[in-house]
Every structure is written in C-alpha cells, then in structure tokens.
Amino acid sequence: MSHQNGTSGGVTGDPATAVAAWLAEMEACVQAVAYERGRALFAPDVVGLGSRGKMLVGLEALERDQWRHVWGVTRGFTFRRDDLVWGASGGDDLVWLACPWDSVGFAADGSPVPRPGRMTAVLERRGGRWLAVHTHHSLATT
C-alpha cells in the first residue's frame, strides 16, 4: 500500500497506487500552501513548466518562481481524478500522468474567478520513492 512519510518524503508503492497518492498529496500541499511538504514529492533535479515559469530547472527554481507565486492566491485546488490518464514504463520505474484540475483565483477587485487547468507529470521511482522529475501546470484556456 502506498503512503506518504514526512521523514523520508515522497510516495511509495506500485505505480497505480503511487499515482493516486501523489495526486492526493500534491493537492493537499497546494491547498495548505505547504511548500516544504510539497518538496518531498519532487526530485532535486526536476524540470518544471508552468503559468509563471517558462523553464524551471531544479526544485529551488520551481518553488521560488512558480509555487510561491501561485499556491498562496489559489483556493479550492482539486484534481479531477475521474479524468486522470496515466501509464507506466521502464519496468514500472517511470510513470507519466495527465490530469485536469479546478481552482479559484481572484480578480483585481478581489472577486473570485474560476481557474481550471491541467497538468502533466513524470514520476520516477528513486530509492523506493516516487518523485516528480517533470511537471507542467497551466491554466486551461479553452
């Protein structure tokens, strides 16, 4: 069974369980604006793309230039798990996933606005833990 462990970080388990656990933990981190907790889900050498950062190499850059500009001004961040698509390869040591999400942002006047989006991720099993080596979060424009 997959679990999160605050001591070792990351997610463990078979690919199907790991994907579900990774999404649940990532969602919880964004909702709680828990940067340190979120870091446990990512490889130090992650490469990320996002609405704020065009090409972010390394976990420090991903947190600084993407997460810290988005998580604190987002409410209700929830992955639409019923629309999740994923697959495994590399002897089940590499997983890719694509999943839409919903959230609420705020207009300049403070009024809430829907902010649906989508993400892709590549998770790699390293030392028994599933860590994101690539993510791409972006707002849905259509």
Q: Mind listing the pLDDT tens digit for each residue in 87-138?
A: 998 778 999 999 999 999 999 999 999 999 999 999 999 999 999 999 999 9
DSSP 5: -
The confidence score (pLDDT) of residue 6 equals 36
pLDDT, tens digit, 9 for 90 and up, residues 19-69: 999 999 999 999 999 999 999 999 999 999 988 878 999 999 999 999 999
The confidence score (pLDDT) of residue 92 equals 81
- Look at the alpha carbons of 25, 101, 134, 53 in this order and tell me if their dihedral is positive or negative: negative
Confidence band of 5 (pLDDT split at 50, 70, 90): very low
Q: Is 139 helix (H, G, I), strand (E, B) or coil?
A: strand
Confidence band of 4 (pLDDT split at 50, 70, 90): very low
What residues pair up with 11 in beta bridges, in sequence order?
4, 130
Residues contacting residue 96 through CB under 8 Å, at least 6 positions apart: 86, 87, 88, 89, 120, 121, 122, 123
Considering the segment(s) 15-139 as one domain, its CATH architecture is: Roll (3.10)
| pLDDT surpasses 90 at 76 | yes
Q: Where are the domains of the chain?
A: 15-139
